[in-house]
Structure 1
Amino acid sequence: MKRGVSFLVTVAFMALASFLASAYDPSPLEDTCVAVDEPNNAVFVNGKFCKNPNLTVAEDFLYQGLNIPGNTSNYVGSIVNLINVDQLPGENTLGVSVARIDYEPNGQNPPHFHPRASEVFIVLEGTLFVGFITSNPEHRFISKVLNKGDVFVFPFSLIHFQVNIGHTNAVAIAAFNSQNPGVITIASSMFGSNPPINPDFLARAFQLDKRVVEYLQARF
């Protein structure tokens, strides 16, 4: 009898250990997700609520229009059309999203990073100079000129950019391993925050004259 109980305890312990080894917290899909004690006060979840599987239709998994060029008439000369879970509900819980980026000549996708994703970057048309910077303290700048058909990877959460160095428009597709990769553009985040960051602090942090910082804050 004791041997049987001991065997059952061992099996139960092994099953529990296996469960704990396979359990994990999901990666964050929002910038913040503060816990609340009262569910009635809850607004967001880490992701999206799920539709009844019996009610899903093909349109839930379809997005049309990625073939349409974006309007690049802006100060950076590029436009990003991100298809995340908000535009394509079928992405929910799958950990994927995609974007089309259009560039006019000399247009750029300025230095930015994705807090929740790595990126696979594919050039469809044009010639792009791309690069990323490794973390402290090395700050290695890794760059490459890409042409049609080239594929480049931007590692998770590292600052990166693209510039159209050709004489014609350029188009690229980016794929992310998150349904909501997020984007933090360095310049607009630092100089266009709401409310503004103290210009004295930014002047010292970026080694700039305070008047330059105030000019940049006014621009952004």
Structure 2
Amino acid sequence: MAIRVLLLAAALLALSSSHGAIASDPSLLQDFCVADKMSQVRVNGLPCKAAKDVVVEDFFFSGLHMPGNTTNKQGSAVTAVNVAQIGGLNTLGVSLVRIDYATNGLNPPHTHPRSTEILTVLEGSLEVGFVTSNPDNKHFTKVLNKGDVFVFPKGLVHYQFNRGTTHAIAIAALSSQNPGVITMANAVFGAKPSISDDVIAKAFQVEKNTVDWIQAQF
């Protein structure tokens, strides 16, 4: 009996470890691995800079106190701080963004294929939501105010919209050094080369001239 219990415990540990590996970036095997952005080596991530060349600035970024430019069609701006900005994030499995929203500003429906997101409202209020995968496509939505926190599960389509009368600011942490972003409208209607309007018209059950008009906006 004791052996069976031990084997079951070992199996559960292995299963949980394998799920942990899938759920986030791979664990680091040293104190740090500052990204060598000049290297020609291609790996799943970025190669390490030689330890002797690492400096304190490799772990530093300044700029999140600066508001993003929201004078665009969406009325929002995302300031990213990932491995592209801080080489020292390489292999650490985290990053963050500042998001600014004008009145009626929208961070449009999108997904982070490699990351869960946890968002905190710093100023203003936001309507946020995410949609579960097929076949249910259940919509979870809530209005957040200053100091409120909301989680968007990894890979699910989500958005934020400022219905308030003033600008809004949020900070979001992500569980990947390079979470990626796929904006639904951009991917479908702004693909280069374009997705056939026959395909999009059938997928969205609209006329081809409607598809052509929307594609022209991108």
TM-score (norm 2): 0.82
- Give the match for residue 213 of structure 2: 215
1:95 maps to 2:93: yes
For 2:69 and 2:58, how far apart are their aligned partners in 1?
Answer: 26
Distance 1:28 1:207, change over 3 A: farther
**Ranges in structure 1 where 5+ consecutive residues have no aligned partner:** 1-16, 30-41
Q: 1:101 to 1:137 in 2, by over 3 A?
A: same
Per-residue deviation at 1:86? 0.7
Equivalent in 155, 158, 169 of residue 157 of structure 1: 155
Q: 1:58 offset after TM fit, Å?
A: 1.2
Deviation at 1:43, TM superposition (A): 5.3
Q: How far, CA to CA, are the matches of 1:162 and 1:49 in structure 2?
A: 35
Distance 1:155 1:81 in 2: 21
After the TM superposition, list the runs of 4 or more consecutive aligned residues in structure 1 that deviate by more than 4 angstroms: 21-29
Counterparts of 1:54 and 1:44 in 2: how far apart (Å)?
22
Aligned equivalents of 1:185 and 1:140: distance in 2? Answer: 19
Q: How many angstroms apart in 2 are the aligned matches of 1:44 and 1:143?
A: 40
Correspondence for 1:133: 131
Q: How does 1:64-213 map to 2 (within 5 A)?
A: 64-213=62-211
Aligned residue in 1 for 2:35 = none
Q: Which runs of 5+ in 2 are unaligned?
A: 1-9, 27-39
Identity of aligned residues (%): 56
Equivalent residue, structure 2, for 1:46? 44
Cα-to-partner distance string for 1:183-218 (whole Å, 9 max, x where unaligned): 000001100001001101100001111100011111
In 2: Cα distance, 1:114 partner to 1:131 partner? 14
Q: Secondary structure at the match of 2:165?
A: coil
Letter in 2 for 1:206: F
User: 1:54 Cα deviation (Å)?
Assistant: 3.0
Q: How far apart are 1:49 and its partner, in Å?
A: 1.1
Inter-partner Cα distance in structure 2 for 1:66 and 1:25: 30
Kindly state the Cα deviation for residue 90 of structure 1 after the two structures are TM-superposed: 0.6
Q: Quick check: 2:25–2:176 contact (8 Å CA) kept in 1?
A: no
Instruction: Give the distance between the partners of 1:218 and 1:104, measured in 2 at CA.
Output: 24
Structure 1 residues 49 and 144: CA distance shift in structure 2, 3 A: same
Structure of higher CA gyration radius: 1
Q: 1:139 to 1:28 in 2, by over 3 A?
A: same
8 Å contact kept, 1:105–1:167: yes
Alpha-carbon spacing, 1:166–1:25, altered in 2? closer, same or farther (3 Å): closer
Distance 2:131 2:76 in 1: 21
Paired amino acid for 2:100: D
> What's the CA shift string for 1:19-52, capped at 9, x where partnerless?
xx578689679xxxxxxxxxxxx75221111012
Letter of the 1:50 counterpart: C
54, 57, 69: which one aligns with 2:55:
57
Supply the distance in 1 between the matched residues of 2:138 and 2:23 (Cα, whole angstroms).
31
Post-superposition CA distance 1:142-180 (Å, at most 9, x none): 000000000000001000000001111100001000000
Q: Amino acid of the residue matched to residue 138 of structure 1? A: D
SS of residue in 1 equivalent to 2:186: helix
Q: CA deviation at 1:219?
A: 1.0
* Cα drift, residue 53 of structure 1: 2.1
The CA RMSD measured in Å over matched residues stands at 2.1
Count matched residues.
Answer: 190
1:165 is paired with a residue whose SS is coil
